Amino acid sequence: MATIKKILCAVDFSDSSAQVAGYAAELGKSLDAEILVLYVAPSLNQYVGFHVPPSSIENFVGGIVDGAEQTMDQFIQDNFAGMETSGRVVTGYAAEEILGVAKEEQAHMIIMGTHGRKGIDRILFGSVAEKVVKGADMPVLTIRPS
């Protein structure tokens, strides 16, 4: 069996993120693995040119990132107390950023949630989890919220 010493736990701070964190914490404890919690703030670059000045978009995204960094600290305290855990907030497209950070950080496993979208929602929004599973070169554990 492969050695798993670094787990990337991708969260979106929704209600189901604590459930995803629970799996990551349990596996991390069992495997004595380091946990990297990742939140990807949306990149709003696609809205530049829609009569919204770029500086307004940058300020808005900056506010999201600042809030996410504060939320991250509390999230780690609440879900990974006493564990070797770090948090990171990045901006961009979720699947691309998760895969990029996993590779950059040499993660051995990715743990993330799914939203279980169906029908038109899935067509419109796609599946971040599906894109990560298809693009990852390491195991991916997906957690469907209950």
Report which DSSP code applies to 115: -
Q: What is the pLDDT of residue 144?
A: 87
Could you give the CA distance from residue 93 to residue 70 in angstroms, rounded to a whole number? 21
> How much is the pTM?
0.83
Structure tokens at 12: 């979106």
Could you give the CA distance from residue 24 to residue 20 in angstroms, rounded to a whole number? 6
Structural domains of the chain sorted by starting position, each given as residue range(s) with its CATH number in brackets: 6-143 (3.40.50.620)
- Asked if 95 and 134 touch (Cβ cutoff 8 Å), the reply is no
Q: Is the pLDDT of residue 58 over 80?
A: no
Q: What is the pLDDT of residues 9-47, one digit of tens each?
A: 999 998 889 999 999 999 999 999 999 999 998 776 555
Q: What is the pLDDT of residues 104-114, one digit of tens each?
A: 999 999 999 98
Could you give the CA distance from residue 97 to residue 16 in angstroms, rounded to a whole number? 20
Could you give the CA distance from residue 5 to residue 75 in angstroms, rounded to a whole number? 21
